[in-house]
Amino acid sequence: MAGVSYVKASRVYPGNPPVRAVDQLDLEISDGEFLVLVGPSGSGKSTALRMLAGLEDVDEGAIHIGGTDVTHTPPKGRDIAMVFQSYALYPHMTVGENMGFALKLRRVPKETIKAKVAEAAKMLDLTPYLDRKPKALSGGQRQRVAMGRAIVREPAVFLMDEPLSNLDAKLRVETRANIAALQARLGTTTIYVTHDQVEAQTMGHRVAVLKDGLLQQCDTPRNLYEQPANAFVAGFIGSPAMNLKTVALTSEGAVLDGLTVPLPRSVVAGHDAKTITFGVRPESLRLAGGDEAGMKLTVDLVEELGADAYVYGSVDIGGTSERFIVRTDGRTPPSIGSTVTVTLRDDNEVHLFHPETGARLETTKAAPTA
Amino acid sequence: MVATTTGPATEPHRPPPAGTRRRGRLRRFLDRYWYAYALVLPVVVVVGGLVVLPLAQGVFFTFTDINEGNIANPVLGREADYDVVGLANYLNVLSGDPAYGSFWAVLLRTLVWSGICVACHYGIGLGLALLLNRPLRFRTLYRILLILPWAVPAFVSAFAWRYLFNADYGLINWLLGSVGLPTPVWLGQSPVAMVAVIIVNVWLGVPFMMVALLGGLQSIPGDLYEAAEIDGATPWQRFTQITLPGLRPVSSTVILLGVIWTFNMFPVIYLITGQNPHTRILITYAFERFFSGATRDYAIASTYGVLILSVLLVFAGVYLRALRSREAD
């Protein structure tokens, strides 16, 4: 077991101009940690993982595993195991042979391999399938074989590249929990790549958000949710997404239609632009009653999830129609086409970002209750 | 034609009244399937006329003593007067008597020829496919150049090679001589001729293997190699553990085809060395027996044809069974 660190590691694909798939990535992953790399397609998250695996070159900077510089070490010398999105099971080998292949290559005695494979199979409920070929397994079973192949190795680091994206929704939720539990039990450092922010938030001890090859923020799921470092992270983390609008800024605060949100003096004073990017999560909005002031929202769609309902609608702000999402009580949702008044639950539950750089503007409100 | 092909229709309909039953079934069957049978008919006629009938006639000839002297000849106004001789032809041929073509010796030479050729085809084809499967400059150009021998008609390349192999003026002997190596008479009455035809046939057969294996290589998912690399496999282990098993379905098919084609590779041998006993294989002997000699011996030639077919059928059967049992493991 070992920690992992990326030291200003970059992967640059030649071209004109060169593509910096991963740009100066600095990341410190401690021993036993479950770190999730998340980001949209093309953000470089898979490339970053493959650099750690040794499948991609590191063009600048360095990568350390367990304190050793492995920047130019071939994959076999890195003591890692990887779970691929496609699982990459060897089609002509049985489940047992797939799981024991790495040990066989290292000339581990047959009995030892057998015992280790049996142990891993038991852990993953694969014992009845050890003599089958991957072809004869369901998607979920194949996924477990891929996990088993990694476990049998007892590597210093697990690398997982979107291992759940080929499973159906229900199985994905189930397997998500199993992987997290397995990792906790084995205590092996794990780097997990996904494009699904829900997976990232539910599984990771810490989550690193990437965009265009650049690390945006790396923090615990809670901090990521409550204090996103910039507008991109704010919009990416959370489902449904945060309402992010660039609105006019006056001395009273941010002006939304019929609703002026008072902003901390520190922000207004230190900010010389005429506009501000204002973010509020759906659960921080509520439907106003009676004659309360608020934004007039025309309801386009209501998603009823039982306990909650998400109201999708549009608000006219400064002449343009802006979409908003509001979480409300599932028992009394507004009807589609109606107009409702929306207001903030708490003036402090807002996120403010610079309208051009997108960087978070720190408010003076109390630290989040973590 | 369509009506006579009516098989037992297996429709789960309830039977109509007894009298109209047969006609009703036939009619329903035709209503439903006439179009399919009409579409298949031309192929049935062509295959029947071009394959099944000559084959049946050939098998029949093997039980007679038919030759040029006793076959019906409308030009001379002569009736056929050959006789059925039972298994005499087979007994004569299988005795290995030189008068009947030394069957066993020629069979052995045919097997050696096929084995060496297919082994070289596969080995060289796989090597080239592996080289062409990696990114390199001018890859498309190399592919086209390497496929070229395949695109040239076999007789054209056979004649080209005859010139190359010419003992006195050929390019090959000129090259060998210029570096001080011996310059054999390539296409003479000696085993060297066999070496020459094997070289030509390897040259001809490699492109097919290369193209087929290249397709096979490209169907192996790249992440298997990555997984194996992480599992600690050396390049050689990746080749034996990923590439070869991944190619197995393609390999088994192209080797079977290669053996069948080479076993019956008439044009290369006949056009390059003619009736040279040192390069004689079963198919060329059957041709010699049929078209030349004092009496054109159709019966023995047909017997050779049937024996070739039998050898290949047995080979294909054993080969496919071996493959299947291996896959079942």
Rounded mean pLDDT, B92-120: 93
- Please give the residue of chain B at the shortest CA–CA distance from A101: B231
**Contact assignment for A81 to B246 by CB distance below 8 Å:** no
pLDDT value of residue B19? 54
Instruction: Give pLDDT, residue B112.
Output: 95
pLDDT tens per residue across span A27-56: 999 999 999 999 999 899 999 999 999 999
Cβ atoms B250, B213 nearer than 8 A: yes
Contact A88 B221 (CB under 8 A): yes
Find chain A residues with C-beta within 8 A of B223's C-beta. Answer: 84, 86, 88
pLDDT > 90: percent of chain A: 69
Ranges A290-294, B7-11, B193-197, most confident:
B193-197
B-chain CB neighbours of A53 within 8 Å are 226, 230
For chain A, what are the domain ranges? 4-226, 244-353
Amino acid at B72: A
Q: What ipTM is given for this predicted complex?
A: 0.85
Number of Cβ atoms within 10 Å of the Cβ of A110 = 10
Answer yes or no: do A74 and B246 touch at CB < 8 A.
Answer: no
Q: Is B241 on the interface with A (CB under 8 A)?
A: yes
Written out in words, the top-level CATH class of the domain with range A244-353 is mainly beta
Residues belonging to chain B: 329
CA distance B246 to chain A (A): 8
Structure tokens at A237: 């983390």
Query: Is residue B2 one of the residues assigned to a domain?
Result: no
Give the per-residue pLDDT at A255: 79
Query: What is the extent of the structural domain holding B247?
Result: 104-291
Q: Which residue of A has its CA nearest to B244?
A: A92
Q: What CATH number does the domain containing B151 carry?
A: 1.10.3720.10
On whether residue B147 sits in a domain, the answer given is: yes
Say whether A106 and B232 touch across the interface (CB within 8 A). yes
Per-residue pLDDT band for B9 (boundaries 50, 70, 90) equals very low
Query: Residue A324 corresponds to which tokens in the numbers above?
Result: 């908003």
To the nearest whole angstrom, how far is the Cα of A211 from the nearest Cα of chain B?
A: 25
B120 inside domain: yes
Q: Touching check for B230 and chain A: CB below 8 Å?
A: yes
CB-based contacts of A195: which residues, under 8 Å, 6+ apart? A38, A39, A40, A41, A45, A162, A165
Number of domains in chain B: 1
Enumerate residues 6+ apart whose C-beta is below 8 A from A49.
Answer: A37, A82, A159, A161, A191, A193
pLDDT for residue B188: 86
Asked whether residue B162 is assigned to any structural domain, the reply reads: yes
Inter-chain CB proximity A55 and B229 less than 8 Å: yes
> Which chain A residue shows the shortest CA-CA distance from B238?
A105
Asked if B246 reaches chain A (Cβ–Cβ under 8 Å), the answer is yes
Confidence band, pLDDT 50/70/90 cuts, at residue B296: confident
- Judged against a pLDDT cut of 60, whether residue B35 lies above it is answered with yes
* CB atoms A90 and B229 under 8 Å: no
Say whether domain A4-226 belongs to CATH 3.40.50.300. yes
Which residues in chain B have their CB less than 8 angstroms from residue A149's CB?
A: 227, 231
DSSP code string of A37-73: EE-STTSSHHHHHHHHHTSS---EEEEEETTEE-TT-
- CB distance B231–A74 less than 8 Å? no
Averaged confidence pLDDT in chain A: 90
Residue B5: pLDDT band (50, 70, 90) is: very low
B181 is a domain residue:
yes
pLDDT at residue number B146 = 83
Q: Do B230 and A91 touch (CB under 8 A)?
A: no
Q: Position of tokens 């900010």?
A: A271
Is there a domain that residue B19 lies in? no
